[in-house]
Amino acid sequence: MARAFFITGTDTNVGKTFVAALIARALKARGIDIGVMKPVETGCAVKDGALVPMDAVALKEAAESNAPIDLINPYRFAPPLSPNVAARLSGVEIDMDRIESAFKTLSAVHEIILVEGAGGLLVPLNNDSTMADLALRLGSQLLIVTPSRLGVINHALLTCECARARGLDLAGVILNHPANRSNDASIKYNRSEIERYAPVLAEIPYTPAGGTLPELPETMLKVFQ
């Protein structure tokens, strides 16, 4: 069975896919057979009559995974809404067993599986379960991606506290810079303030499209050893 890492965020659009792809590339470059999952993707565009799960495709490419896209991404929806709402509007109920079954199939063939959530930790998947329940069910360690900006300390600590209260194994926080916010005075204090509460495994610099992708620090890669 693979070891699993669940990548959640303190919000949507904070860099979960960007960071997960960096991790996948770094592990692949070290010879690790890495699997990826984006169990539920919403806001999918339609191409040639089919929904395209862009996050799942980006993760698959980064990990150079040969797994079928339907295992990597069992559920995809067009409405750009939270999973339970998008599913309901599409006449579907998300079945945790189906996600777990795809996960087990991938786990049997890979050494490590990176699972990207949607939005944050308490996003509902259906009327009974949230992303936190899924992360627990998959026996995964949790990585929290959070954007360095004013307000991040509260968002990061809330997510850490929720993870701990639910018995999740928190591997650490990744402080990302999804935008160039050089005039945000909080940036130089965010890491040390969050670090008083949980390990900050890496700080990922702003990387303009087409720029050289940042290297992940060894301290962070150790989490996957």
When CB distances are held under 5 to 8 angstroms depending on the partner's kind, the choice from Mg ion, ligand ATP, none that residue 180 binds is none
Under rule CB under 6 A, which residues in 26-55 are in contact with ligand ATP? Answer: 55
Q: With binding defined as CB under 6 A, does residue 204 bind ligand ATP?
A: yes
Q: Is residue 38 annotated as part of the catalytic site, yes or no?
A: yes
For residue 112, the 8-state DSSP code is E
Residue of 10, 140, 148, 176 interacting with ligand ATP (CB under 6 A): 176
Q: Which of positions 5-64 make contact with Mg ion (CB under 5 A)? A: 16-17, 55
Residue 124 is classified by DSSP as: B
CA 102 to chain centre: 17
Cβ–Cβ under 8 Å, residues 17 and 72: no
Among 35, 83, 119, 172, the residue binding ligand ATP under the rule CB under 6 A is 119
Q: Yes or no: say if 120 and 159 are a contact pair by the CB < 8 Å rule.
A: yes
DSSP labels, 39-83: SEE-SPEEETTEEE-HHHHHHHHHHT--S-HHHH-SEE-SSSS-H
The binder of 14, among ligand ATP, Mg ion, none, by C-beta within 5 to 8 A per type, is: ligand ATP
**Site residues (vs ligand ATP, CB under 6 A):** 9, 12-18, 55, 118-119, 176-178, 204, 206-207
